[in-house]
Structure 1
Amino acid sequence: MNELATKHAALASRFQALAEAVQDWDAPTPVAEWKARDIVGHLTTWLPEMAAGYGIDLPKVTGDDPVQVWREHSANVQALLEDDAVTNRVVQTSAGDQTIAQVLDNFYLADIFMHQWDLAKASGQSVGWNPEVATSIVEGMTPMRDMLAESGQFGTPVVLDESHSPEERLAALIGRDPAWTAG
């Protein structure tokens, strides 16, 4: 298994564990307009649409059970990531030529990582983010905070100093209130 497939397997497994512990799929989330189920819906719908734009057939999984939808979707993504002929293909992106592996790592795997926080908070769980990974993402994304705000993909980014935990800093940077609770 290649490095990206290994990374996805770990992220997907952690997200699945969080999903399996959700008691109320209609619970509010740190994203004001979303319920817990919408987090899974987001992660399982945009990637097949983007993949299709690159000529990749990634089935769009639908259903009423968010855990089952996640399982099927992540299995489909895993199979795609284990196919080196697909992941090594170069495509044109807004950032220039990139391999499918680079696109998926930069956008999709980062999205899974960040939305773990939303699902954990909505369901009263600990996110369990790796502090080194969170710190690395904060360091990489902080110079782009204006672009993040303009993209409409995030809430208003807030840069917190190092007196805050890596989890708090990353949550704030992606426009979440680090102190948000479902209650």
Structure 2
Amino acid sequence: MTSPRDLSPAAVQLAALARGVREDDLLWPTPSSNYLVGDLLEHVDGLSRGLQAAARKESVPQDELRDGDRHQLRPGWGDRITEQLDHLVRAWAEPDAWEGETVEGGVPLPASMAGMFVLDELVVHGWELARATGQPFEASAEDVSALIAFLESLPPMEDSEGLFDPPVPIADSAPAQDRLIALTGRDPSWSDGSAPAR
């Protein structure tokens, strides 16, 4: 069983990145080939609400299971996502959130595993937003180490319902954060060149 983790460092960073997205960033590409920045931001908007339900062992409203559609992104995303991520952290800070079984994304699974998938969403989408919009990003070493161990413990991709794209080959000597990103099927060296560093 995975021990409960404090999601606040990853959530605070993701919230800051969301607040840093500008209107003219929304059509820029991201490391996820199916998403532009606006799509990714709308996905984060939805998951920052929907993943609270998994902590409380509640059903997720159907409209919060969206894959990400920039056309549904409502104004005020920065403040809204910040508030929702704060509620998400509080929900997963409850002692029983990591115990028993829950449902996440329509899939029944142990709550401790669901909590780690939440952490993965926060860290990886934070990295994607940062890379796509030229904002700085560095996940906590503790979160990166825990996520690498968690993801490496999962069954082979063909047996794990396609949760991620196949891992990107990377040297064992690469920085830990790059190895984590590669494990989730993203290219750690991705750059579109559109976003100037901020």
- Which TM-score band applies after superposition, normalised by the shorter structure? 0.7 to 0.9
Query: Which residue does the alignment assign to 1:70?
Result: 81
TM-score by structure 2 length? Answer: 0.69
Q: Structure 2: which 5+ runs fail to align?
A: 65-72, 194-198
Distance in 2 between residues matched to 1:29 and 1:123, nearest whole Å: 8
Please state whether the residue corresponding to 1:11 is helix, strand or coil: helix
Letter in 2 for 1:174: T
- Partner residue of 1:122? 132
Per the alignment, residue 9 of structure 2 pairs with 10
Between 1:135-144 and 1:171-180, the stretch displaced more is: 135-144
SS at match of 1:125: coil
Structure 2 Cα separation of the partners of residues 79 and 135 of structure 1? 23
1:45 partner amino acid: G
8 A contact 1:148–1:154 mirrored in 2: no
Contact 1:18–1:125 (8 Å) recurs in 2: yes
Pairwise CA distance, 1:142: 2.9
User: Which region of structure 1 is more displaced relative to structure 2, 148-157 or 48-57?
Assistant: 48-57
Shift of residue 95 of structure 1?
7.4
Number of residue pairs aligned between Structure 1 and Structure 2? 175
For 2:159 and 2:168, the matched residues in 1 are separated by 10
**Structure 2 residue 58 is the aligned partner of structure 1 residue 55:** yes
Per-residue deviation at 1:42? 2.0
Which runs of 5 or more structure 1 residues have no equivalent in the other structure? none
Structure 1 residue 56: deviation in Å?
A: 5.5
RMSD of equivalent CA atoms: 3.5
Amino acid at match of 1:65: G
TM-score of the pair, normalised by structure 1? 0.73
1:86-131 Cα shifts (integer Å, max 9, x gaps)? 62663356776x44xx254222122101211111110112321234
Q: What letter is aligned with 2:164? A: F
Identity of aligned residues (%): 23
Name the counterpart of 1:105. Answer: 115
The answer (yes or no) to whether the contact 1:124–1:181 under 8 Å persists in 2 is no
Partner of 1:43: 44
Q: 2:91 aligns with which of 67, 77, 80?
A: 80
